[in-house]
């Protein structure tokens, strides 16, 4: 795991003009560059900048917590102790705490700035490991503030728990009669070591299809046919990106004395390619 050397432990086309000659007549001919086709990069952040500076304004730093998600322990802040550039081309999201009820971390999103419908979103990340740690790269439907969750839909590109020996990826779709919707997901032993190692985590979205993976490996595919009859496919609408490091709660369980304090999630770059 990539962390600080000294660690405390948890106490808890421009065209050109020529001439075309046709049937003895001279006519102007415009020669230009064809419009590019296929995927195009609509967002890229290399996290270049001075050490200690916040991420670019494309990112919205969310604050709050202490019970968010799965009854997590951390409070998200906009303090550079929790989210900042390291001066070496990485974004650092840091969880730290003096006690179980004093854990801070960070969660950043592209809501309102970078949202896409079809294409690929990917991030090169070195994930942390430790009891109670829950890092994630994920997407939410852009209308979440209006319709709520899970009605807006959620796409989990990568989540790991504790020692990060397994991967978790999937979607949450709205389903009649349940407040938490339907989860369709995949999990299993990590195909190679994840903690402290940079890997590219990605999602590809096309109408009626979502695919996620790590590096060159595909992990998960879902289509409307995989949903229950009373669930709704909401994944052909705009979604935005999220990166965060959660701590504790009902899914990973609590941190303990073995948990690195601080714990860091490093992000080398993030890109969105639209189709």
Catalytic residues: 154, 159
Phi, psi of 249 (to 5 degrees): 95, -175
Alpha helix stretches (DSSP H) within 88-182: 144-147
The SS3 of residue 146 is: helix
- The beta strand positions in 142-175, using DSSP E, are 154-159, 166-173
Among candidates 93, 114, 126, which has minimal Cα distance to 1?
126
Phi, psi of 71 (to 5 degrees): 60, 45
**Is the distance from CB of 263 to CB of 127 less than 8 angstroms?**
no
**51 to each of 14, 44, 83, 89, 90, how far by Cα in Å?**
40, 19, 11, 9, 9
Q: Which residues make Cβ contacts (< 8 Å) with residue 225, sequence separation at least 6?
A: none
Residue 49: which region, alpha, beta or left (left: phi > 0; alpha: psi -120 to 50)? left
User: Rounded to 10 degrees, what is the CA torsion of 120, 58, 134, 137?
Assistant: 0
């Amino acid at each position: 795991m990539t962390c600080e050397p000294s660690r405390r432990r948890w106490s808890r086309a421009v065209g050109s003009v020529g001439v075309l000659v046709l049937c003895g007549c001279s006519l102007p001919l415009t020669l230009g560059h064809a419009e590019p086709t296929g995927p195009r990069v609509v967002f890229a952040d290399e996290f270049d900048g001075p050490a200690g500076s916040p991420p670019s304004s494309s990112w919205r730093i969310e604050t709050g917590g202490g019970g968010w998600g799965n009854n997590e322990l951390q409070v998200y802040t906009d303090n550079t102790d929790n989210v900042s550039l390291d001066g070496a081309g990485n974004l650092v999201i840091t969880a730290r705490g003096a006690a179980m009820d004093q854990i801070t971390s960070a969660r950043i999103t592209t809501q309102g700035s970078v949202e896409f419908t079809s294409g690929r979103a990917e991030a090169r990340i070195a994930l942390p490991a430790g009891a109670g740690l829950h890092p994630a790269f994920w997407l939410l439907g852009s209308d979440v503030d209006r319709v709520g969750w899970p009605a807006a839909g959620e796409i989990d590109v990568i989540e790991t728990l504790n020692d990060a020996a397994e991967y978790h990826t999937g979607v949450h779709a709205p389903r009649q009669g349940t407040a938490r919707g339907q989860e369709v997901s995949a999990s299993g032993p990590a195909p190679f070591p994840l903690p402290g190692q940079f890997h590219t985590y990605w999602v590809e979205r096309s109408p009626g299809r979502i695919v996620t993976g790590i590096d060159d490996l595909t992990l998960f595919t879902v289509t409307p046919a995989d949903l229950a009859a009373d669930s709704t496919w909401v994944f052909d609408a705009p979604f935005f990106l999220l990166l965060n490091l959660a701590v504790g709660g009902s899914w990973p369980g609590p941190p303990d004395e073995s948990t690195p304090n601080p714990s860091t999630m490093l992000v080398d770059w993030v890109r969105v390619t639209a189709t």
